[in-house]
Amino acid sequence: RRAGQTPGALLASGLAQVAERSVELRNVALPGARSDDLERQVTLLLALPGPTPDVCVIMIGANDVTHRVPLTASVRYLSEAVRRLRDAGAEVVVGTCPDLGTIEPVYQPLRWLARRLSRQLAAAQTIVAVEQGGRTVSLGDLLGPEFAANPREMFGVDNYHPSAEGYATAAMAVLPSVCAALGVWPEPDVLDADRHEGVLPVAQAAAEAAEEAGTEVTGVRAPWALLKHRRRRRLETPAPAPEPAGAPAPEESGAERRGAPSPESGH
């Protein structure tokens, strides 16, 4: 309901807090977009005035599954988008396809099929994104435990798209990797064996990431990749200043007015 609650705005706010500097958000995503729209989105982004973005976040995949886009076509579009952004000098973080098997209106056996297709796409997205020099964060069943405990809070009124709380959960899973890509994450970038982190063949890392939400995969040297579980943190959300009685609501800023759509909706 508010632009400030969308993933793009949350990520920009979180990055600004961690980096302790201002962040400009450019958003070219569209609700309902599939991977075949990434070419247009990247072209539009790179044509905007100003310098190339320092980091780009792509959240894509769920609409590909629901519209039965062939997996090979879906990952080809993503691979090309990541390559173009990396060639332009931007870091790229991909939030891979969420697990559609956690959605309440989907019943068995469709729920099992949706889960299998979602994880297959997420693993394939990880492989191609890492091959092109990006890094990925698996969204998977990120909302699964929270949904089971309180589905009315984590999902929206259509029981398909996340609620504001659900979007915040997804954004906070991606934020540490966005910060790490820019070298501003406060934790040391060392491996923790107790958290099952390590260097694995990229295909194995992709498969394991698809099974555990919040897992980051970063390329090391072909065919190896780094599997890491970064600790999420909650954003500090300052209370809005009280409005004078009878005062009109302030206009949203340009960046907020372009607020990001759902995690499955595109770049």
Q: List, for residues 30-46, the tens digit of each pLDDT value.
A: 888 999 999 999 999 99
Mean pLDDT across 220-227? 87
pLDDT at 237 over 70: no
Distances from the Cα of 65 to the Cαs of 110, 142, 223, in angstroms? 12, 17, 27
Domains of the chain, start order: 3-236+251-266 (3.40.50.1110)
Contact 260, 27 (CB under 8 A): yes
Reported as a single tens digit per residue, the pLDDT across 143-167 is 555 555 565 555 655 555 677 787 8
**What is the percentage of the chain residues whose pLDDT exceeds 90?**
47
Query: Treating both helix axes as pointing N-terminal to C-terminal, what angle do 7-19 and 164-181 enclose, rounded to 10 degrees?
Result: 40
